[in-house]
Amino acid sequence: GQQLNQSPQSMFIQEGEDVSMNCTSSSIFNTWLWYKQEPGEGPVLLIALYKAGELTSNGRLTAQFGITRKDSFLNISASIPSDVGIYFCAGQLGSNTGKLIFGQGTTLQVKP
Amino acid sequence: NAGVTQTPKFRVLKTGQSMTLLCAQDMNHEYMYWYRQDPGMGLRLIHYSVGEGTTAKGEVPDGYNVSRLKKQNFLLGLESAAPSQTSVYFCASTDLLGSRGAYGYTFGSGTRLTVV
């Protein structure tokens, strides 16, 4: 089946640093989504992207929908300890079922 | 407004036992999903439903069954649990928002299942 390749798998950074992670696929997606999961909780939607080339921000987070529609990236600027968690990308292929395909996740740790 | 509620939160089963995981949403969403999360593998779709009375297979359906008798509830059943089904199970729901089709799932907080 379709797969999303998310990288890096994990990051350990210093507070204040910027972070970048990305997802690539061999399939074309109509929608890209970025989620954050904190320990013991379900993922929470951070940013949704609907159009190729779209660049969207949510506070210190910025995400872009790749021009080829096969990739997306998420940047976090000036990281803080509460940014710790697992970040997932997800793509939606265009069916009317709402099914999403998720990347493997990027685990982010921030050292104060 | 509770959103998506999953019960139970934790469970330990012996191999061969059966159980049902319950997902309830109070947002009147049409679409509901069951995912499993395993380390390094992200979230994989088990089964889903696009409306009351409908169900369909996802990416990893073997060993699981589902039912959606009421719009607000989506049940996931394990008939004969196996150690390979040890995982964290997440339920999610969504509704299509106009032409943009947000697909922004609302997730439950998960059920951690261990099969010994």
Contact A62, A74 (CB under 8 A): yes
What is the pLDDT, as a whole number, of residue B39?
Answer: 86
Residue A102 at interface with chain B, using a CB cutoff of 8 Å: yes
**Spans of chain B, pLDDT less than 50:** 98-99
What is the pLDDT, as a whole number, of residue B99?
Answer: 44
Question: B88 φ, ψ to 5°?
Answer: -105, 125
Contact (CB<8Å) B94/A97: no
Contact B46, B67 (CB under 8 A): no
Measured between beta carbons, which residues in chain B are less than 8 angstroms from residue A41? 109-110
Contact (CB<8Å) B101/A31: yes
What is the pLDDT, as a whole number, of residue B40?
Answer: 82
Quick one: how far is CA A35 from the chain centroid? 6
Contact A87, A105 (CB under 8 A): yes
Question: B99 φ, ψ to 5°?
Answer: -75, -15
As a whole number of angstroms, the distance between CA B113 and CA B88 comes to: 6
Q: Which residues of B touch A (CB under 8 A)?
A: 4, 31, 33, 35, 40-45, 48, 50, 56, 58-59, 90, 92, 94, 96, 100-105, 107-110
Interface test with B, best of A58, A102, A106 (most B CBs within 10 A): A102
Contact A72, A64 (CB under 8 A): yes
Tens-digit pLDDT string for chain A (112 aa): 567 899 999 999 999 999 999 999 998 888 899 999 999 899 999 999 989 999 999 999 999 999 999 999 999 999 999 999 999 999 987 667 888 899 999 999 999 8
What is the pLDDT, as a whole number, of residue A95?
Answer: 67
Neighbours of A84 (CB within 10 A): 15
What is the pLDDT, as a whole number, of residue B102?
Answer: 54
As a whole number of angstroms, the distance between CA B22 and CA B4 comes to: 10
